[in-house]
Structure 1
Amino acid sequence: MNIENLANKYKEHVINLRREFHRFPEESWREERTSRRVKEELQKIGVDFEATAKTGIVATLRGKNPGKIVALRADMDAIRVKEATGAEFESENEGIMHACGHDGHMAMLIGAAKILKELQNEWDGTVKFIFQPAEEVGEGAAKVIEEGFLDDVQGAFGIHLWSDLPCGKVSVEEGPRMACADIFKIKIKGKGGHGSLPHQGVDAVVAASAIVMNLQTAVSREINPMEPAVVSVGALKAGTRFNVIASEAILEGTTRCFNEEIRQQFPKILERISKNTAASFKAEAELEYIFATPITINDKKCSSIARGSVEKIAGSDAVVLMDKLTVTEDIGRYFEKIHGVLAFVGVRNEKKDAIYPQHHEKYTIDEDALEIGTALYAQYALDFLNYKGL
């Protein structure tokens, strides 16, 4: 029996698992029930596993002979969104929802483990199934790496169910696919005073407001217009009362880009703009900058392998091109260490009301995509293990 047939054989089981995970979503680093259920499923399959990154799991399956090692990865965490889908399996954890497809990722990876276990005597090498927590906060991948679970791995593969692609379509092209997501905080220090006597103080609110506006020139006037980049201030906190000149203000925001050189320039640009702008108002500014989640870059050879895998299970028409995204994915940390590719598997279907974007309260998927993703996980693993160029 081939991979396509096995994926179809386990389709109902994968759908049921996805719905169960969806009913009981858990936030980053709190995936306790989710972790227990994944372990129970792996025990049923007969795959050895061990814990990683607090609530994560790494399962290992060896083929008939030694060979290369490939990692298949699924993320586990949900986000703080109050669900409004009205589904029978709607979230039972108030205010928390699987609104990004991670429920499907886990279910598909379990399905792939079942397939590869059934075919265990037909392939050489080793497959690691990584169920990774805390992707939404950009911390889980780093912990998995820190604990050494990629040290002996030659390649990694992940899937992201994606609402902008029609069900039946898959994107696996090479190069930058998802942006980095770095974090900045700017503290502005002024001098307090009475709102009726502004000349006696140094207004941190005015200085902060000017910094917000001037930061927009970081992209529009300092970055090559052919290079996508984002500087967004998401929070401005200042003041205690309507008639008090604020002595302090705090700005918090994010930068995004697909170019590592630009990424390294951002702290210098933001610091210069914020300090000089603040000084023009007789205030002071201090920048805190965190390099958080790296750029997700698909390896050329791995993308070629993945394209072949898609064509085997769904035909050449299933492969589509998709614009890169300024959202982020911490699987990029894996790809900094080893060769890898992230596939985007379409879940959009207007007839099934699967039309809402990731993180939307009505986000849902065409569950037919789960069969494609399950097969793709398994097919890519075998194709990578058989590939001679890595």
Structure 2
Amino acid sequence: MKELQVLEALKPKLTNIFNHLHQNPEISWQETQTTAFIAEVLKEEGVCFQTLPTTTGLIAEIGSGEKAIGIRTDIDALWQEVNGVLQANHSCGHDAHMTMAIGTLLVLHRLNVHKKGRIKFLFQPAEEKGTGALKFIEEGLVDDLSYLFGVHVRPIQELADGQCSPAIMHGAGRFVTGEIIGEDAHGARPHLGQSAIEIGAAMVQELNRIKLDPMVPHSVKMTKFQAGGDSSNIIPGKAQFSLDLRAQTNEVMQQLATKVEAIFAYLSSLYEVEIHYEITADIAAAQVDDDAVQLMGQAIIETIGKDEMVPPIITSGGEDFHFYTLKKPELKATMLGLGCGLSPGLHHPEMNFNHEAIFTGIEILVKTVLNTLEKEGA
């Protein structure tokens, strides 16, 4: 097929693109060089694009028409310790996602599909913060889309190398930061203050006692707790903490959040301290469209065969991609789950995967767009 010939010719260029993106990661909302690099690639190919005045990321388009088919990729990296050094790191595969989006764009551009319709590519920042999709929605960048497709590399715990799924049923996530505000006390006179450490321990115990529907996966855990200083004879009255909430549905997430808020109020009253908190990010659970899933599934079968297609996978991880359908219910969307031998796991500082899977992903995305154009034009 012609698209395979075009993709084969592009492989050296796409390999160089991936290597550059992998070696130059940037954290959320700071993806300035990443945006500039993608813009330069598109400029060289003669593809129309626009950078955004209020944020990083960019939008590219080929073809024409009132409604467009969208391809979305995330562009940010994580900040984590790698070999003893804190640094930006593409341990969630966004370098691969960007390469697949660019590859899909270039293949479709060279196939002259602009005569069949309009395809819009969203290079979205700050997925790891859970706020990038909301910014794109706020800016009206998806208002003209009828379909939206994404992709995410999957760990070996979910998909084997060579397998693919036409949908990823991500769960909801909520990230909370807070502060316990009490009074310090001398180690010999604990009754004159409040121990933030003991309150933190009580908080962990109460969080572990939360009981919700066991048929819906959910969890809440403390991921940061900082209290005290260098003086071991001072009982700290203040502490900072972070919580990570997960639930497979948006409804159970709301129930979980209500329980957590009740725990804050209870401990505040019991220990006579103030507990201040804020929600730093909310991530919606997946809401996928049957038509989009069918079109993606058809492309998977055409690319790797029916035996390698796995039904939609359920994962406790989160993705801000699903804000697009939560905020725009009329948008038909799904995300390709790409098996690529990824290990030890997503967000592991030494995450690695079979880079050849990038080209499989591009082929599937190209065929998904072509199938959708055919369906829309029928």
Please tell me whether residue 330 in structure 1 is matched to residue 320 in structure 2: yes
Partner of 2:29: 29
Local SS of the residue matching 1:297? coil
Residues 136 and 288 of structure 1: is their aligned pair in 2 closer, same or farther, counting only changes over 3 Å? closer
Cα offset for 1:82? Answer: 5.1
The question of 1:113 aligning with 2:105 is answered yes
Q: Secondary structure at the match of 1:154?
A: strand
- The Cα of 1:2 is off from its aligned counterpart by 2.9
Mapped to 1, the partners of 2:24 and 2:239 lie a distance apart of 39
Q: How big is the shift at 1:282?
A: 4.1
Partner of residue 260 from structure 1, selected from 250, 253, 258:
250
Equivalent position of 1:172 in the other structure: 166
Structure 1 SS opposite 2:203:
helix
Provide the aligned C-alpha RMSD in A: 2.4
1:364-375 aligned at under 5 Å gives the runs 364-375=352-363
Q: Is the 8 A contact 2:130 2:281 kept in 1?
A: no
1:207 corresponds to: 199
Identical counterparts, % of pairs:
28
Give the secondary structure class of the aligned counterpart of 2:320.
Answer: coil
Q: Which residue of 2 aligns with 1:14?
A: 14
SS of structure 1 residue aligned to 2:314: coil
Aligned ranges 1:50-69 → 2 under 5 Å: 50-52=50-52, 54-62=55-63, 66=65, 68-69=67-68
Amino acid across the alignment from 1:73? R
Partner in structure 2 of residue 360 of structure 1: 348
Alignment equivalent of 1:97, drawn from 68, 73, 89: 89
Asked if the contact 1:70–1:155 (Cα under 8 Å) also holds between the matched residues in 2, the reply is yes
SS in 1 for 2:145: coil
Farther off after superposition, 301-310 or 332-341: 332-341
Question: Whole-Å Cα distance in 2 between the matches of residues 35 and 283 of structure 1?
Answer: 46
How far is the alpha carbon of 1:204 from its aligned partner? 2.9
Structure 1, unaligned runs of 5 or more: 85-92, 349-353
Tell me what 1:231 maps to.
220
**Counterpart residue number, 1:77:** 76
1:90 counterpart residue number: none
Q: How is 1:343-354 mapped onto 2 (pairs within 5 angstroms)?
A: 343-348=336-341
- Greater shift after overlay, 104-113 or 283-292? 283-292
Instruction: Supply the distance in 1 between the matched residues of 2:142 and 2:55 (Cα, whole angstroms).
Output: 16
Per-residue CA deviations over 1:129-171 (Å, capped at 9, x if unaligned) read 1111221222221121211110111111011122323332111
Q: Per the alignment, in what secondary structure is the counterpart of residue 287 of structure 2?
A: strand
Check 1:117–1:289 CA distance in 2 against 1; reply closer, same or farther (3 A cut): closer
CA distance in 2, matches of 1:97, 1:245: 37
Maintained 8 Å contact 2:172/2:318: yes
Quickly say closer, same or farther: Cα 1:294–1:242, change in 2 above 3 A.
Answer: same
Structure 1 stretches of 4+ moved >6 Å: none
How far, CA to CA, are the matches of 2:258 and 2:88 in structure 1? 37
Which range is displaced more, 233-242 or 274-283? 274-283
| TM-score (normalised: structure 1) | 0.87
CA distance in 2, matches of 1:139, 1:291: 7
Whole-angstrom distance in 2 between the partners of 1:122 and 1:154: 16
| CA–CA distance in structure 1, aligned partners of residues 272 and 23 of structure 2 | 54
One-letter amino acid matched to 2:360? I
C-alpha separation in 2, matches of 1:114 and 1:135: 24
- What is the TM-score when the length of structure 2 is the normalising length? 0.89
Secondary structure of 2:40 counterpart: helix
1:339 is the counterpart of 2:332: yes
